[in-house]
Structure 1
C-alpha cells in the first residue's frame, strides 16, 4: 500500500514537470529545469558509485579485521555532503532573488557531485 502511494506520488511529480528540450533551452525557467535534471542524474550516479565504494571499504575492513576503512569513508562522505551543500548555497546566494539562482545552485551541485564521483571511482580502481 505504501509502495503504491509512493509510486503515485512519483508519477504525479513527473507529470507536473513541464516538457523541456534541454538541448535547446531558451528561457531561464527551462535552463533552471535542465540544470536540475543534470544534477539529479549526477546524484544518481554518485549514489551508485557510493554503494560500490562502501561495499569495498567494508570488504577491506573484513580482510584487515577492523572497521576503520568504512568508518573513515563514511565520515568523509558526510563531511563532503555538508561542504557541497554549503558551498553551492554560498555560490547561489550571490544571486538571491534572481531567476538565475536555481541554475547557479544546480550547476554547482552537479560539478561538485561529478568531482566526488570521480574521487570514489579512483578509490574503487586503487589496487589493494
Structure 2
C-alpha cells in the first residue's frame, strides 16, 4: 500500500513539475520581455535555479524508484547505473554548454547562452528522469 501511495505521489508531483515549465524551449526567449540584457540575464538565472531545484527532486524520485527496484529484485544494479548516468550527464551538460558559450566569442550574451543551455538540458533531463520515477 505504501509503495502504491508513493508511486501515485511521484506521478502527481511529476505532472506538477512538468506543468510549471514554460511553453517556450529557449529560456532567453521566455525572458525576452524582461528589458535590458542585464534583466534578461537575471530572468534566465531565476529560471535556471527553478529548473535545478526541479531536477534535484526528479533525480531523488528516480533514485528512490531505482533503490526500490534493487531491493525488490535483490540486485544492486539500477541505483548505481542511475548514479553513473547522472554523473555522465552532468559532465556532458557542463561541456556542451561551455561549447555553446564559446560560440558567442566572448560577447556579452555568453552568460545568458550558457544559462539557457543549462536550463534547456535540465528540463530535458527532468522529463527523462520522471519516466523512471515510479
TM (normalized to structure 1)? Answer: 0.77
Report the counterpart of residue 124 of structure 1 in structure 2.
133
Give RMSD over aligned pairs.
1.3
Distance in 2 (CA, whole Å) between partners of 1:56 and 1:62 is: 10
How many residues are matched? 104
Does 2:65 align with 1:56? yes
Does 2:102 align with 1:93? yes
Distance in 2 (CA, whole Å) between partners of 1:101 and 1:26 is: 17
Higher relative contact order (CA 8 A, sep 6+): 2
Kept in 1: contact 2:65–2:132 (CA 8 A): no
**Deviation larger for 38-47 or 91-100:** 91-100
Distance in 1 (CA, whole Å) between partners of 2:95 and 2:67 is: 29
Report the counterpart of residue 11 of structure 1 in structure 2.
none
Larger radius of gyration, structure 1 or 2? Answer: 1
Q: How does 1:70-85 map to 2 (within 5 A)?
A: 70-85=79-94
Give the superposition deviation at 1:23.
7.5
Does 2:112 align with 1:109? no
SS state at 1:124 partner: coil
4+ residue runs over 4 A deviation: none
TM (normalized to structure 2)? Answer: 0.73
Distance in 2 (CA, whole Å) between partners of 1:23 and 1:106 is: 14
